[in-house]
Amino acid sequence: MKTTLFTDCEVSDRKDFEKAGIQLFQHCYDLLAAKGLRVVAFKAGHGRARLANLLSWQVDECLEYLDGDDLTTDQVVHFGLHQFAHHRLGSKHPHAVLFAETLASSADIYLLGKLAQAGMEPDFIHETLESFGFYYETYGDDAGHMEQLLSDLTTDPFGAMVTVGNYLFNFCTPLLYPASSDEPANILAVLQPHAYYPLVHHYNVTNWVLAIRAQFPEPMGSNPGLEAFRADVLQDETGFLQTIETASKES
């Protein structure tokens, strides 16, 4: 393994995203560059970086793990939104950490929609839709739910991102600090069928829950600053992009 600066890495598919006019990529890239993000590369990764990032989920260390020497654009956006949420909210509250992960993960929905609208088909689209297809086929309640998701994200990428992010956040929150050992099963048992439910398997959200529990063993009080921030930053696409651009200039 070797450690290097984020800016020393190539972004393998950036031209497709730039052709699609996805400003979010550049804002996240600038933010990571300003923060001095360091990356540790596994030469023959085989997914080790994904595991290492979950096991070392400390955003304030400004360190991420990679499989190989190159970054992909969706990784830049994911890492950048982690840092954006940390910049604005810190990482000292379980709900703030959960929000950072749901925001970074649901950004995939935004990227898919923007790429589809631009008629671009980088590997990211094919790989993500293949994974979606597997989980919708395995865990979906209705054959039309994946079509609904695809319609949502192509019609309004930002709105779909916000809706998916909120769904993942609300799904995970009651599982963070169960009252008893059987409480998680009871919570899951009464969940209503939802068009986005298979995404909790795609994103493996139980890893988020367990990592947050390990970092914050005891529940904490409410975080009104987080709710105000979520309502403000996720209100519209223009404001969202401007807020991230501002964060990159403040760093």
Q: Look at residue 42 and give its three-state secondary structure.
A: strand
The pLDDT score that the predictor gives to residue 25 is 96
CA–CA separation, 150 and 145 (whole Å) = 9
pLDDT tens across the length of the chain (251 residues): 778 899 999 998 899 999 999 999 999 999 999 999 999 988 776 788 888 888 877 888 899 999 888 899 999 999 999 999 999 999 999 999 999 999 999 999 999 999 999 999 999 999 999 999 999 999 998 889 999 999 999 999 999 999 999 999 999 999 999 988 889 999 898 887 899 999 999 999 999 999 999 999 999 988 888 999 998 999 999 999 999 999 999 98
Distances from the Cα of 119 to the Cαs of 20, 22, 25, in angstroms? 8, 13, 17
The pLDDT score that the predictor gives to residue 114 is 97
Q: What is the 3-state secondary structure (H, E, C) of 90-151?
A: CCCCHHHHHHHHHHHHHHHHHHHHHHHHHCCCCHHHHHHHHHHHHHHHHHCCCCCHHHHHHH
User: By the 8 A CB rule, do 45 and 68 touch?
Assistant: yes
The pLDDT score that the predictor gives to residue 219 is 92
The pLDDT score that the predictor gives to residue 45 is 60
**Predicted structure pTM score:** 0.94
Q: Which residue has the tokens 């790989």?
A: 127
